[in-house]
Structure formats: structure tokens, C-alpha cells
Amino acid sequence: MARITVATSHPTFSQGGHLVIANAVVAALRAAGHDAALLQTPQNRFGRQAAAYLATWLTDVGQAHDGKPVDQVISLRFPSYAVRHRVHACWLNHRMREYYDQWPRFSGSISSRGRLKEQVRRRLIHTADRYLLTQNVTRLFAQSRTIATRLQRWGGIASTVIHPPPPPRAYRCEGYDDFILVVSRLTPLKRVGLVVEALRDPVAAGVSCVVVGDGEEQAALRQIVSECGLDARVTFLGAVGDDELLTQLARCRAVCFPAQAEDYGLVTVEAFASGKAVVTCTDSGGPAELVRDGENGFVTLPDPSLLASSLAALSDDRGLAERLGATALSDVSEMTWERAFRQLVLV
């Protein structure tokens, strides 16, 4: 078996699905008999990205502290793919999105002077990323078709899509209780506010919701819920541990994940592994690749009334939730780490 370093960047004092995936890759590699370890490379703040790229480029990943060689590197996220190794598979989660698909939103939020500086940085990052992802890696994989499409659009870079399976956790289904679960960071792109708007629709009058996660929008969302008189139907649990998350997934009626242009959306396959249907939107990116409308969940336009109808259908009909959840569980059973490693492990 091989000795493999899994590399990902991670800003301090933050959480994110990319780190869950990184840890899942390490755990799954170990379960498959490989000797695997996680390397977290720096992700510096705006204006200091070059230092993070350089530090990662200079990081020695050729051998471990015991002097034994590392057989392969699997990198996941900018700028971790700047590490150098003769056998390097990049399973890309995303590049720095502010310089790619989120550029219009990002550049519109800063001053004209700041925009000029960021335009220069953007060109430099594009050049560095294209070199690293075409010349510095042995094989390039994308974690979703959404990511693969971005690689082609910005850089003309070809990749192979491998959807990450659920992390190795004790998923289970304990029933279909009367609440829809939302698992997400509370930030604008995750569009939890869209769920709140949907709950205001009379069609969704019987729908209750539990929100797991925290973030910059938490206070604003709580205030909106209170102002709309939804306190009895919306519960905010904040950030929870893995055990509590698995319990919520095991008990919920279904999961709603309406994020905009999501890279992958790990909660989708975690919901499937718990036997639960997922409601997402047509522009949600990764989740919309996995959810088949009317089969293992619902895919709606990002419209509150349409989202309300889907949530109400599941809330009002437990049998429907069970049938869609059973299909979801069957679908995700085909997404195994063994299958993923047939391509990702190159040694």
C-alpha cells in the first residue's frame, strides 16, 4: 500500500466542507490500507495570496519526518495544488472564486482603486493557477461538473469529474420526523434566507425547519424569522458536532440545500446516506447534479413559492419522503471510496 499526503489549504478560525472532505479522504485512504496524512497549507488574506502560493510551492512533501518517502500527493484546493511531487493528483474543490465566477460580485464591492489592484492580482492568479493545474500535477480531477465547467471556462483546462462519496461516518435513518433540515454556513451564497421566504408562503404553513450552522447572516436571519412570526417553526441550532449532525440527518423529513452555484455541497450525499431526499435549486451547482427531480428529491427554480411547494409536498406526505429517501440511499450506495480511489491513487 502507498504512503499518501492529502494537501488542502485552510484559513484559521474557520470551518468548511472542503476540510470535511480532506479529512474524509485521509480516513478513507487509511481504511483502504494506505498510510495517509493531512497537510494544511496556508490560505492568506487578500493582498498576501502570493506569499501563500510561494510557501506552498516551497513546502517539502517528498518525505515524512521519519525519513521515509511519500509515494503520492492528493491536493484539493487553492493554493495546495502548488505543492510539488512527482506523483500529484489534484482533486479540485475550487480555485479562488473571487477571481473567477465570483469576480463580478467581488469587484463590485470594492473601490475603483482597489479594483485596479485586484485586476492585476486576478491576472497573476489566473496565470499561476493555469500553470500549476496543467504542469504541476500528474492528473487533474474535479469534484463536480460545476467545477469542471469553470476550469474550462477560465483557462481551457480539461479535468475528469469524480463526485466525493459521503465521509466515512455512521449514517443512519431513524425515521421521518416533522421538520425539514438545513445544514449550511449562514452566508449569502448559501441562500438560507430563501428557505425563510418559502416558509412565509401560505402553501408552506405546515412546514417546520431546523437550521444547523452559523455564519455572518445568523443574526439577520434570526431577526427576519422573528419579524415574520416564524419562531415556532424555525429552530436555529448553530454549529453542532458530528454526532448531533448525524442525529439530525437521521430524524429529519428531508434536507433543503438551496445554495447558489455551490462547488459540490457535501450535505447532499450525507443526506442521501441518511436515507433522506434533498430539495435544491436549478442554479445550485453541485447539488443539482446529484438530485433528480421527483426521484431522490426536488429541483426547483430559486423561487420562494416553488421552493415552498416542494417543502410542503414532503412535509405533508411522509410516504413520499420515504420513497424519495429510499431512492437517494440507493443512489449514494454506488458512490464508494473504492471506486474513487481507482482513479485518484496513481501508485
Q: What is the pTM of this model?
A: 0.94
Complete domains list, the chain, with CATH: 3-162 (3.40.50), 180-332 (3.40.50.2000)
- One digit per residue, the tens of pLDDT, for the chain of length 347 reads 899 999 999 877 666 778 899 999 999 999 999 999 999 998 877 778 899 999 999 999 988 777 789 999 999 999 999 999 999 999 999 999 999 999 999 999 999 888 999 999 999 999 999 999 999 999 999 999 999 999 999 999 999 999 999 999 999 999 999 999 999 999 999 999 999 999 999 999 999 999 999 999 999 999 999 999 999 999 999 999 999 999 999 999 999 999 999 999 999 999 999 999 999 999 999 999 999 999 999 999 999 999 999 999 999 999 999 999 999 999 999 999 999 999 999 99
DSSP letter for each residue of 241-307 = -HHHHHHHHHH-SEEE---SSBS--HHHHHHHHTT--EEEETT-BHHHHH--BTTTEEEE-S-HHHH
Q: What confidence score (pLDDT) does residue 67 get? A: 78
User: Taking the CB of residue 113, how many other CB atoms lie within 10 A of it?
Assistant: 8
Cα-atom radius of gyration of the chain, to the nearest Å? 21
Q: What confidence score (pLDDT) does residue 13 get? A: 64
Distance between CA 329 and CA 268 in Å, rounded?
A: 11
Q: Do residues 289 and 144 make contact, with C-beta atoms less than 8 angstroms apart?
A: yes
CA of 125: how far to CAs of 84, 184, 305, in Å?
18, 28, 40
Question: What amino acid occupies position 195?
Answer: V
User: SS3 of 93, please?
Assistant: strand
What's 178's DSSP letter? S
